[in-house]
Amino acid sequence: MNHLQTGKRGEALAVAYLQKKKYKIYGQNIRLGRDEIDVLAYDIEERMLVFVEVKTRSRYDPDFLPALGVTQRKKRALRRAAWKWMYQKEYEAPWRIDVILVIGSRIYKHIKQIH
């Protein structure tokens, strides 16, 4: 399986996980210039818009965990994408950026509010 297929599978697992947790899914793979929002969701319990980054690895490797892909540069790009989206939609309500880490066919970790 190539990295694009692995990423798509990880995103599908993340969406299913979020739906199970009662999040509403508003969109996937939203392009904003050079930036992208993997999943746009709404946390009904916390009443908050959530910009979700999904990091996927095909297998567990303690030296190459998915969290390593969430660099400072990536965090800046995620914030920039969120701000662009909110500016375009004139959104002025609570929001956060989450990261969902997927290894194989399982959700490894859901990190809330990374910004």
Q: Where are the beta strands (DSSP E) in the chain?
A: 23-32, 35-43, 48-57, 95-103, 106-111
Q: Does domain 3-111 have CATH number 3.50.50.60?
A: no
H or E segment and range at residue 6 = helix 3-20
Q: Per-residue pLDDT tens for 28-80?
A: 999 999 999 999 999 999 999 999 999 988 887 766 665 667 788 989 999 99
Contacts of 20-29 with CB under 8 Å at 24 or more apart are 23/50
pTM of the predicted model as reported, rounded to 2 decimal places: 0.90
| Whole-number pLDDT of residue 72 | 87
Predicted confidence band of residue 11 (pLDDT cuts 50, 70, 90)? very high
| Whole-number pLDDT of residue 46 | 96
**CA separation for the pair 77, 33 (Å, rounded):** 11
Q: Where are the domains of the chain?
A: 3-111
- Residues 24-28, mean pLDDT to the nearest whole number: 97
